[in-house]
Amino acid sequence: MLENKRAIQMTEETARKWLRERGVEVKDIAELVFFLQEKYHPDLQMEDCIENVERVLSKREVQNAILTGIQLDILAEENKLGEPLQSIIETDESLYGVDEILAFSIVNIYGSIGFTNYGYIDKLKPGILEKLNDKSSGKVHTFLDDLVGAIAAAASSRLAHRAANTE
């Protein structure tokens, strides 16, 4: 039992570490949540957004999606994937879609409102998403930009559900 608890803790620590190493901080994701929710919650505070991002990041299925997606991005950067997958991920081919499917596993945690939030933020690419989507950086973020958007969408949905329950 102790070994399993340590493995769970290690998964979360690694997911958070890999996000930071790829240039994504919790505050960056919280800013996306704020962007999505500020017009619906006039008294919204950044601390509320951070808290909801933290809760989403504490979920195992989110951590597993982060680890999987970031690992695939890194392998593509290192040219370690077989063709045609290497080219598809390296160029973030528009018809690939598996990156969005992985993101949907996160979005779905807090209900269907997450899909709307995700679609909106994925289209606009505000904040950190614009930076992650920049192909000139030399980094591959085919999965990471969608994962970050999905975490923000899920945290936004969580916040909206909580606010609805308190009204």
Q: Does residue 33 belong to any structural domain of this protein?
A: yes
Whether residue 109 contacts residue 61, with contact meaning beta carbons closer than 8 Å, is answered with yes
Residue 91 within a domain: yes
Kindly report the average pLDDT of the chain as a whole number.
93
Q: How far is CA 162 from the centre of its chain?
A: 20
| Residue 46 forms part of a structural domain | yes
Assess if residue 123 is contained within a domain.
yes
Q: Give residue 125's domain range.
A: 26-166
Would 9 be classed as within a structural domain?
no
pLDDT for the residue 8: 81
Burial class of residue 112, CB neighbours in 10 A (0-12, 13-18, 19+)? exposed
Q: What is the pLDDT of residue 34?
A: 98
- Could you report the per-residue pLDDT of 141-163, keeping only the tens digit for each? 999 999 999 999 999 999 988 76
Would you say residue 21 lies in a domain?
A: no
Q: How many domains does the chain have?
A: 1
Q: Which residues contact 143 (CB under 8 A, 6 or more apart)?
A: 68, 69, 70, 72, 73, 89, 99, 102
- Residue 144: CATH number of its domain: 1.10.3760.10
- If pLDDT is split at 50, 70 and 90, which confidence band does 2 have? low
Q: What's the average model confidence in pLDDT over 93-116?
A: 93
